[in-house]
Amino acid sequence: MIRTILLGPPGAGKGTQAAIIVKNNNIPHISTGDIFRENIKNGTELGKRAQEYMSKGELVPDDLVIEIATTRLLEDDCKNGFILDGFPRTVHQAEELDKFLDEHGQEISVVINLEVPDDVLMKRLTGRRVCPKCGATFHIVGMPPKKEGICDICGAELIQRPDDNEETAGNRIEVYNRETKPLIDYYEKKGKIANIDGAAALEVASAAVAEALGG
C-alpha cells in the first residue's frame, strides 16, 4: 500500500507527479495548498487565517496545517493509501504526522524528494499562468497556451497568481530552504527518502518516481 509524501520546493513539479501517481495507483492526492486555496476562495475563517500568510509567501502555522491534514486523512478514500503534498513542511509537523499514523496503525512507505536548482525554480514559478475560471495551468515557456494570455479550455483570460511574482517566489524558495529542508534529514534517518531529479525530463522523473514507489 502506498502512503507517500512529496517533498520539493515550490515549482519542483509535485502537482504533476502527484497526478501521475493518482492515475496509476487510484489513491487520493491531498494537497494542503489546494485545501487552503479552496477555503480562501469560499471566504471561510480558516481561509482568512491562511491567506494572511500565503499572500506573503510565508508558511501557514503548524497548528492550522496539522489540524486540516490529519482530519483529511480520516476520510474513507484514504484507507487504501494517499499522497501528501505540502504536508508535512517542518520536522514538528512530521513528528505529529508520525504520531497520528502510529495511533491508526499506519506508517509512511516512502518519501519522494524532488530536487531542482533554485534558478530553474524561479523560471518555472514566475512563468506560470492560471485560468481563474476553470483552474487550468499553463507556462509561458514550458506549456504556453495556443493564444497568448488566453485559456485553451474555456477562453478566459489567464492570470499570474499573486504568489508567482518574482519577489514572492523568491521568498517561497527561501522559506522552503530554511524551514523544510531539515525534513530530508529527518526522513533519511528513517530510511524513507528517495531523491529524484525534478529538473529532468518529465518521463525520466516520472519513471524514477514509479520505481521508488515499487512500480
For Cα atoms 212, 31, 118, give the angle at the middle one, nearest 5 degrees. 70
C-alpha cell at 101: 499514523
Q: How confident is the model at residue 27 (pLDDT cuts 50, 70, 90)?
A: very high
Annotated catalytic residue: which of 3, 72, 89, 124?
89
Annotated catalytic residue: which of 161, 189, 190, 192?
161
pLDDT at 3: 96
Q: Are strands 110-115 and 193-197 parallel, antiparallel or unpaired?
A: parallel
Provide, for the chain, the percentages of residues in helix, strand and coil under a 3-state DSSP scheme, each rounded to the nearest 5.
50, 15, 35
Q: Is 128 a catalytic residue?
A: yes
pLDDT at 67: 82
Annotated catalytic residue: which of 14, 37, 72, 124?
14
Q: What is the pTM of this model?
A: 0.79
Q: Is 14 a catalytic residue?
A: yes
Contact 84, 6 (CB under 8 A): yes
pLDDT at 215: 62
Q: Is 49 a catalytic residue?
A: no
Which range has highest mean pLDDT (65-69, 74-78, 163-167)?
74-78
Three-state DSSP at 105 gives coil
- Supply the DSSP string of 157-210, one letter for each residue: BPB--GGGSHHHHHHHHHHIIIIITHHHHHHHHTT-EEEEETTS-HHHHHHHHH
Annotated catalytic residue: which of 3, 37, 124, 128?
128
Q: Is 89 a catalytic residue?
A: yes
Between 14 and 46, the higher pLDDT residue: 14
For Cα atoms 140, 158, 68, give the angle at the middle one, nearest 5 degrees. 100
